[in-house]
Amino acid sequence: MQVAICSYMKKSIKALTFIYCILMFTFFLFYIENAYFNITVAKYRCFSTLTFVYTVLSIICGSVYLFFHSASQKKIKNFLKSLSVSDWSMLVLLMSNTITTLLSEDLQASLLGSWGRSAGLNFTVLLCVMYFLVSRTLSHMRIVLHVFLGSSFLVGLLGVWNALGYDPFHFFESVNETEVHWFLSTVGNITFFAHLFCLSLPLAVGLFLKEDQRYKSFGYAGWCWFGFTAIIISNIDGAYLGIAAFMAYYLWQSCTSRENLKKFLVICLIALGSFKLLAAITLFNDYLTFDGISEMLVHSSFIWILIGMVTILLLFMKYFPEKVESLPYYKIRTGLFISMASIVILLFLSIVYFTWIDTMSSLNGWENYLRFNNSWGHERGYLWKTLSSGFLNSYSFTEQLFGKGLDCTRLILASIIDHPATAIYYDHAHNEYLQYLVTSGIIGLFAYLSVLGSCLIRLIKKHRLPYASMFVAVLLAHGAQALTGLNQPITTPLLFLLLAIMENMIIDADKCSQTHKNENGKIDCHCLSEFKQ
């Protein structure tokens, strides 16, 4: 009887986790109240309600399981021993943010995030609980991820429809005409819309690169075309940092064989084709407009040259397969890594040079990218300088360790600058790393980076797992996009849900490896190649 009850409770928790993930990737993404006027609060309310109900039901099932399980104390000890660096980092983040809130001058604001994006201590608690529950009890990962892709497609479809000037659900009826271009679909702000596709597009590209069946490849290729289109219509320059990061990674990874390289070039052709299709649409639709990097990609004639070059390379691969197969791929990968690192270093040095050495030369359209001043990045330059200076000069040692309060950027700015009206305008640093630093301090930032970094390193080590490279691409895309992004209750819960899914995959892979060790202690796990398919 006890065994039957324990088995039923375990299955119940797994079913709850599966349902919760499906709801987060569907209902949560689509949920909206009163159009865009309270979308942050509405999304937070939806996330908190779903997570609270899921947590309570899971605790009930878990309590029954532990009550009837004879070795429950031993299981708890084994659980503590099995905690990964990412797990401990999540706990450190929770404890650090608790201390931050207790030390904050406005405890209520830090607790509730009422002066910012509803990302206070209660939000951290929900993320932490969700992370541990999902990472230990998820099943049917492949289904969950494909549901995420399907929902993202629908969100993007509505976003593209909105960008073309159509409003089927009347979201824009009461929005000021000067602010319409800041919103898309059911995620609201265009920055969050772009972040959603920085999380989902790397998955779709990775699935296309790994897929061998032709009809599935066509489906993933179509999704990728649409995903690149969605990124472009968001007009968020920071999103291109994410695209550059994960595409560079996939390029490096694809330089192992002719077939892999061919698939990557097809993805490049899909991306370039989506740019030119949008250029053609603008000839018939005056409502669709672009700025920044999006405008350069859509209207630049150089894209046609790139399309021609990629097409020639694909034809060369088709008609001269032997020559392509005989290429020294190891040397090519090494050269690519050195080249990409050199580009990043050169870009950094260019910004340093044009910001502090040559401050007068005209950079034309590159002024907003290579010269870091107060107007850089739609006033982000002023914001970053002010917050960084405040952190270094006006924070006490304790405040530098733990920050001044979660999601309290407005209050922090008001204490630093002499223009209250300007301070009230900003509720976020528009840089996730700087935001964590000034609000939760060095320890909070370190814990957050440890969660991401530990997961990234372990995924790279377990590259044999089917989804490992895709999750690495997701983390790289998010990490780059976060330089100009925002943590908030609209897409951040999806990031931490994906982190939980990654951790779940690693945990199950470790269990699988342990059960398939041969007599010499080496792993002989044949099921890893089909893991969680």
Please, what is the Cα angle at 271 between 266 and 276, to 5 degrees?
120
**Angle of helix 237-254 versus helix 292-299 axis, rounded to 10:** 60
Written as six digits, the tokens of 38 are 């309270």
Beta strands in 175-216 (DSSP E): 183-184, 188-189
Closest C-alpha among 47, 72, 136 to residue 495 = 47
Name the one residue in this structure whose structure tokens are 């709801």.
23
Written as six digits, the tokens of 167 are 């409003």
183 phi and psi angles, rounded to 5 deg: -125, 145
Name the one residue in this structure whose structure tokens are 């099943």.
139
Question: What pLDDT is recorded for position 73?
Answer: 60
Closest C-alpha among 190, 192, 184 to residue 166 = 184
Q: Which residues does 68 contact at the CB level (< 8 Å), separation at least 6?
A: 2, 5, 6, 9
Residue 487 CA to residue 439 CA, distance in Å, equals 12
Name the one residue in this structure whose structure tokens are 């691409």.
473
If DSSP states are collapsed to H, E and C, what string results for 354-399?
HHHHCCCCCCHHHHHHHCCCCCHHHHHHHHHHHHHHHHHHCCCHHH
The ranges assigned to domains in the chain are 1-81
Residue 40 CA to residue 48 CA, distance in Å, equals 12
Residue 234 CA to residue 230 CA, distance in Å, equals 6
Judge contact between 395 and 437, C-beta under 8 A.
no
Helix (H) or strand (E) holding 478: helix 468-481
Q: Which residues does 167 contact at the CB level (< 8 Å), separation at least 6?
A: 173
Question: What pLDDT is recorded for position 14?
Answer: 94
Amino acid 358 reads D
Q: Which residues does 460 contact at the CB level (< 8 Å), separation at least 6?
A: 468, 472
**Long-range residue pairs from 451-455, CB within 8 A, at least 24 positions apart, any chain:** 451/86, 451/89, 451/90, 451/93, 451/499, 452/478, 452/479, 452/499, 454/84, 454/85, 454/86, 454/89, 455/86, 455/499, 455/502, 455/503, 455/506
Q: pTM for the complete prediction?
A: 0.93
Written as six digits, the tokens of 149 are 């892709």
* Residue 185 DSSP class: T
Residue 440 CA to residue 93 CA, distance in Å, equals 9
**Angle of helix 258-281 versus helix 214-234 axis, rounded to 10:** 50
Closest C-alpha among 67, 143, 254 to residue 501 = 143
Residue 210 CA to residue 463 CA, distance in Å, equals 13
Per-residue pLDDT of the chain (533 residues; tens, 9 = 90+): 677 877 788 889 999 999 999 999 999 999 998 888 889 999 999 999 999 999 999 999 988 887 777 665 666 667 677 789 999 999 999 999 999 999 999 999 999 998 888 999 999 999 999 999 999 999 899 999 999 999 999 999 999 999 999 999 989 988 888 888 899 999 999 999 999 999 999 999 999 999 988 889 999 999 999 999 999 999 998 899 999 999 999 999 999 999 999 999 999 999 999 999 999 999 999 899 898 899 999 999 999 999 999 999 999 999 999 988 888 988 999 999 999 999 999 999 998 888 888 878 877 777 778 888 887 877 788 889 999 999 999 999 999 999 999 999 988 988 887 665 555 578 889 999 999 999 999 999 999 999 999 999 999 998 888 899 999 999 999 999 999 999 999 999 999 999 999 999 999 888 776 665 554 444 444 444 444 44
Residue 92 CA to residue 77 CA, distance in Å, equals 19
Separation in Å, CA 57 to CA 16, 60, 72, 175, 498:
8, 5, 19, 40, 21
Question: What pLDDT is recorded for position 292?
Answer: 84
* Residue 517 DSSP class: B
HSE value, Cβ hemisphere, 13 Å, CA-based, for 145: 27
Question: What pLDDT is recorded for position 371?
Answer: 83
Residue 515 CA to residue 502 CA, distance in Å, equals 20
Closest C-alpha among 90, 93, 92, 66 to residue 77 = 66
Buried b (16+ CB within 10 A) or exposed e, 310-340: beebbeebeeeeeebeeeebeeebeebeeeb
Instruction: Name 123's bridge partners.
Output: none
Question: What pLDDT is recorded for position 81?
Answer: 73
Judge contact between 305 and 197, C-beta under 8 A.
no
Residue 483 CA to residue 429 CA, distance in Å, equals 10
